[in-house]
Amino acid sequence: MDNFEKISALVSEAEKKLSDIFAEIDRISFANTKKIMDSFKSHRVSETMFAATSGYGYDDHGRETLDEIWADVMGAEAAFVRHNIVNGTQALTIGLFGLLRPNDIMFSIAGKPYDTLDEVIGNTGEAGNGSLRDFGVEYMQCDLLENGDFDFDRIGEVLHAHKDRIKVVFIQRSKGYLNRKTLSVDEIGEAVKFVKDIHPDCFVVVDNCYGEFVEEREPTAVGADMIIGSLIKNPGGGMAETGGYIAGSARAVELASYRLTSVGCGLEVGATLGQNKNIFKGLFYAPHTTAQAIKTAHLAAYIFEALGYEVEPAWNVQRHDIIQAIVTHSREALCAFCRGIQYGSPIDAYVTPEPWAMPGYSDEVIMAAGAFTQGSSIELSADGPLREPFTAFLQGGLTYESGKIGIISAALEVMKLKS
């Protein structure tokens, strides 16, 4: 039996064992789709809302309705979604700069945020570049416990000691480039309650990237003051070609809107340039597309665990984001995995990815991304920093069928290393 036959047999075995899990994923997708369609209906979405505006963008009915729908779907008081937010990092920057002021403290309670926030915070990069630190904002951090839970004892100590200065308590839902579990909405809700019982006046901000529509609720539904994400991840459904969103309490969203445009203008301006349709359509597709990505992640976990690799989460564990970590323990295996994902992609399948110094990252990163939209993480992609333990972070899959093809391709590439 050759390697392709071995992997094909393993895929068939996996799909039989995953049938109940896949059924639950479909149930959640249906619930989230119904929530979105109910909101579309109540807000009377019509084709006229797809019309483009230019210049200042005053009275853009489609833009305003999108904001209202986004708040509904996210379980928030208010929200805004904009095509001209270039990525999740910019969306996070808008939110953080909107809330924080000189002498404030940003306190991250789920460990180190994603690498691209290092320069935004001021933990790396040159002084004077305009980081939060340059504006007199201090950063503090509390790591998760070894089992991945919040360290409530330490969080409580810091909150009591710095209550007069902590303005933002920051939680990253997904693992980023850390080898730790993703946080569930229930776990985030427990942390929000703990923080608010001690310091009700602070803003709890959640980096929600990769987590939207994986569960039936978002962190705003359990008390978070602000959640932030990118449209070329889950909530854009593979249809939005760029953009980001912020949702949360009315006051938090208002402050962020002043950073998005200017104080006094807020959400009253912003030409949509014909992008409303893509965002409406992407939100409509988002629960289903996210479900396809989650199924792909479960399959990858099963296959690579069977091949002898460490995976997180395990194939039979409930998901709270779309990311699947596969610990390869070698530069060669990480690069082989990413090559396989690229070779199994719909776009640029002939390209061989190589590690490079990506802007905003402290280590060389290898990235496989044969996507219709550049950098789209809801499409099948894989990346990882070239550092121990050489973990590949897989995410996305517009369809389960194409995701399966990508996983088979990656498995065949890593199997070559052992032959």
* pLDDT one-digit tens code per residue, 148-187: 999 999 999 999 999 999 999 999 999 877 778 899 999 9
Question: Which of the listed residues 242, 274, 306 is the one where a domain comes to its end?
Answer: 274
Give the separation between CA 16 and CA 11, rounded to whole angstroms: 9
Give the residue among 391, 398, 333, 329 at the shortest CA–CA distance from 369. Answer: 398
In this prediction, residue 154 carries a pLDDT of 98
Tokens 């853009």 locate to 60
Cα gap 64→339, rounded to integer Å: 42
154 and 251 together in one domain: yes
Nearest-angstrom CA–CA distance, 62 and 277:
9
- In total, how many domains does the chain have? 2
Query: Final residue of a domain: which of 240, 274, 308?
Result: 274
Question: 262 and 294 share a domain?
Answer: no
Amino acid at 152: F
Beta strand segments in 53-209, E: 78-82, 105-108, 138-141, 166-172, 203-207
Residues 243 and 183 in one domain: yes
Q: Are residues 199 and 220 in the same domain?
A: yes
CATH number of the domain to which 365 belongs:
3.90.1150.60
Beta bridge partners of 204: 169
Asked if residue 269 and residue 174 are part of one domain, the reply reads: yes
Check if the beta carbon of residue 93 is closer than 8 Å to that of residue 127: no
Say if 9 falls within a structural domain. Answer: yes
Complete edge-to-edge strand list for the sheet that includes strand 381-385 = 310-312, 324-327, 391-395, 381-385, 365-368
Residue 40 placed within a domain: no
**Structure confidence at residue 356 (pLDDT):** 85
Average pLDDT over residues 360-366: 81
Average pLDDT over residues 105-123: 95
**187 and 62 co-located in one domain:** yes
Same domain, 82 and 204: yes
Structure confidence by residue, pLDDT tens digits, 30-58: 999 999 999 999 999 999 999 999 999 99
Q: At which of 226, 249, 274 does a domain end?
A: 274
Do 212 and 76 belong together in one domain? yes
Q: What pLDDT does residue 418 have?
A: 79
Residue 1 pLDDT class (50, 70, 90 cuts): low
Lowest mean pLDDT among 104-118, 204-218, 348-362: 348-362
Residue 167 lies in a domain: yes
Instruction: Report how far residue 383's alpha carbon sits from residue 368's, in angstroms, rounded to the nearest whole number.
Output: 6
Which residues are within 8 A (CB) of 192 and not within 5 positions of it... i.e. 6 or more apart?
Answer: 204, 219, 222, 223, 224
* 361 and 408 belong to one structural domain: yes
Q: Is the residue at 279 inside a domain?
A: no
pLDDT of residue 359 exceeding 90? no
Report pLDDT digits (tens) over 313-337: 999 999 999 999 999 999 999 999 9
Residue 180 confidence (pLDDT) = 85
**Residue 302: inside a domain:** yes
Q: How far is CA 194 from CA 171, 191, 255, in A?
A: 13, 5, 24
In the chain, how long is the greatest CA-to-CA distance?
A: 69
Please report whether residue 250 resides in a domain. yes
Q: How confident is the model at residue 406 (pLDDT cuts 50, 70, 90)?
A: very high
**90, 114, 214, 237, 286 from 69: Cα distances, Å:** 22, 28, 18, 15, 14
Q: What is the DSSP letter of 181?
A: P
Separation CA 342–CA 196 (nearest Å): 45
Same domain, 270 and 145: yes
Give me the DSSP letters along 239-276.
T--S-EEEEE-HHHHHHHHHHHS-TTTGGG----TT-H
* First and final C-alpha spacing in the chain: 13
Contact between 224 and 192 (Cβ < 8 Å):
yes
My answer on whether 114 and 242 are in the same domain is yes
CA–CA distance, 179 with 311 (Å, rounded to integer): 10
Helices (H), 320-361: 331-343
Give a yes or no: residue 217 inside a domain.
Answer: yes
Q: What is the CATH number of the domain that holds 101?
A: 3.40.640.10
Note the pLDDT of residue 419.
67
**Residue 249 scores a pLDDT above 80:** yes
**CB contact at 8 A, 75 and 189:** no
Do residues 126 and 224 share a domain?
yes
The fraction of the chain above a pLDDT of 90, given in percent, is 93
Structure tokens at 53: 């505006």
pLDDT of residue 119: 94
Residues of the domain holding 375: 3-32+284-418
Kind and range of the H or E run holding 365: strand 365-368
Mean pLDDT computed over 253-270: 97
Rounded-to-integer distance, Cα 368 and Cα 394, Å? 9
CB 158 within 8 A of CB 107: yes
Residue entry with tokens 């044969």: 370
Residue 360 — pLDDT band, cuts 50, 70, 90? low
Taking residue 262's Cβ as centre, other Cβ atoms within 10 Å add up to: 10
Q: Are 294 and 214 in contact (CB under 8 A)?
A: yes
Write the CB contacts of 231 (distance below 8 Å, at least 6 apart in sequence).
81, 83, 85, 240, 242, 243, 244, 245, 279, 282
In a domain, 63, yes or no: yes
The Cβ of residue 128 has, within 10 Å, a number of other Cβ atoms equal to 7
Residues in the chain, how many? 419
